[in-house]
Amino acid sequence: MRIFLLLLYKCCLLIFLLISVSNSNAIEEDPQLSSARVVFQTNYGDIEFGFYPSVAPITVDHIFKLVRLGCYNTNHFFRVDKGFVAQVADVVNGRSAPWNDYQSREARKTIVGEFSDVKHVRGILSMGRHADPNSGGSSFSILLGNAPHLDRQYAIFGKVTKGDETLQKLEQLPTRREGIFVMGHLHGNSSRLAWFWPYFLSSYVLSPLPMFLDGLLLDSEMESCEKERPILRRRLAASFVEIERQRMKCFP
């Protein structure tokens, strides 16, 4: 009888441990989002992001700071690989508006890689980097499908909370392959697939403006405006620059 009770106790203990491990993994794979939200406005629609400060606190703080400083303003998606990732350009090379000194210094900083057990699935935000695991800067990817080969190799810091329909539109844009990368293929050699203007939902930032893809306005009514398009593009570009100058002056 004692042997039976001992075996029963060990079985119960084993089951308890298995359940505890399972629950721990579930929590790790589906962490709690913070209340803060950032919206990227694009000419194809808005994309809203939530963040995992409990998983990647340094990365989240870094991205927040770059957004608050306006570093992502006039930046773009340079790569959309359907079913894999939509990648945001590094702001140092992808942004078109002028910098102030503080923005420039912050944009060039790199951070440590905060790798976790959270899975790379559609909608996840994953920090870009070079071969050095601690070389993350400002480029990051939005997962457009499951990518288990990226797990524990790239720092996950949040996920898309609204805007999957916008991601679906981006996946339909024409692209070209350059080695292992699928790049934008619009307006000659341009790789700027979509411009965006980020803002915080819960913080005051310069009022966002709708962003237009350079050289591509998907509106049938614009077919009769072919001659006006170059002028419109120049005016929009000049507006972006002027707005950014005023933002740096009034909200340093």
Q: What are phi and psi of 99, to 5 degrees?
A: -105, 155
Q: How far is CA 106 from CA 21, 29, 130, 202, 251, in A?
A: 40, 30, 18, 22, 16
Q: What whole-number distance in Å separates Cα of residue 43 and Cα of residue 199? A: 15
pLDDT for 203 beyond 50: no
Residue 50 has pLDDT above 90, yes or no: yes
Sorting pLDDT into bands at 50, 70 and 90, what band is 200? low
Asked whether 128 and 139 are in contact (CB, 8 A), the reply is yes
Contact 138, 91 (CB under 8 A): yes
- Average pLDDT for the chain: 75
**For residue 61, what are the CA distances in angstroms to 34, 182, 186, 232?**
12, 29, 33, 37
Q: Tell me: the pLDDT tens digits for 177-199?
A: 665 555 554 443 344 445 555 65
Which alpha helices (DSSP H) does the chain contain, by range?
2-29, 57-68, 91-94, 101-107, 164-171, 229-250
Distance CA 83, CA 203 (A): 33
113-125 tens-digit pLDDT: 999 999 999 999 9
Residue 143 pLDDT: 97
Both tokens of 97, joined, read: 């508006």
Q: State mean pLDDT over 45-55.
A: 94
* DSSP symbols for 37-59: -EEEEETTEEEEEEE-TTT-HHH
Q: Is the CB of residue 36 less than 8 Å from the CB of residue 202? A: yes
pLDDT digit string, tens, across residues 103-154: 999 999 999 999 999 999 999 999 999 999 999 999 999 999 999 999 999 9
Whether the per-residue pLDDT at 228 is higher than 60: the answer is: yes
pLDDT digits (tens, 9 = 90+) for 2-31: 564 445 445 554 554 444 444 444 344 579
Q: Are 154 and 127 in contact (CB under 8 A)?
A: yes
Q: How far apart are CA 250 and CA 252, in angstroms?
A: 6
pLDDT score of 135 = 96
* Residue 200 exposure: Cα atoms within 13 Å on the Cβ side: 16
The model scores a pTM over 0.75: no
| Lowest-pLDDT choice from 52-56, 189-193, 233-237 | 189-193
Whole-number Å distance between alpha carbons of 49 and 200: 10
pLDDT at 195: 56
Is residue 195 within 8 Å of residue 42, measured between CB atoms? yes
